[in-house]
Amino acid sequence: MIRFLALILCCAALTACGLKPLYSGGSTGAVASTLDTVSVDPIEGKSGWLMRNALQDRLNSGAGESVRYRLVVKLDDSIEGLGVRSDDTVTRERRTLRARYQLIDTQSGKTVVDATAGSDAGIDVVSSEYATIAGENAALENLSQKLADMIVARLSLYARQQQ
């Protein structure tokens, strides 16, 4: 009997915790509806092209009826050598991708979100130049996907706060 009562009290406490799903309501929910109204400005370079495509895929850009927000992203992409042999050849590289992004309300012209996101990846430098370049490109693609996830999560939190 005591166990049953304890179970009921635990269940009641869980429902009162105040947590709500971020994407409640699915594609018709407040967060999804807000994300549908975000257009992504063009971003310079190969990394910009990859980032813009990743963001558009996640934001469902163009699916909304009207554009309420503009997302402006500036990227900083760098590769630096880490491991060096005695003959001064690099054995390991680190690719770093950083993004500064701003969500601008098109109606008021006000910047409502101004934040940064970043990540890095390690790349082995091997004797084959082709394999090294392929590794660098794969790292860039993965970092673009990771940063797009971070940016959309932050924009989702903003949309949730506006409810």
Tell me how many helices (H) and strands (E) the chain has. 4, 4
* pLDDT band (50, 70, 90) for residue 20: low
Q: Following DSSP, what letter does each residue of 82-147 receive, concatenated?
A: EEE-TTS-EEEEEEEEEEEEEEEETTT--EEEEEEEEEEEEEE--S-HHHHHHHHHHHHHHHHHHH
How do residues 121-137 score in pLDDT, each as one tens digit?
999 898 899 999 999 99
Domains recognised in the chain with CATH numbers: 25-161 (3.30.160.150)
CA 136/CA 133 separation, integer angstroms: 5
Q: Which helix (H) or strand (E) holds 45?
A: helix 45-59
How do residues 27-41 score in pLDDT, each as one tens digit?
667 788 888 899 999
CA 126/CA 9 separation, integer angstroms: 60
Q: Lowest mean pLDDT: which of 10-24, 33-47, 142-156?
A: 10-24
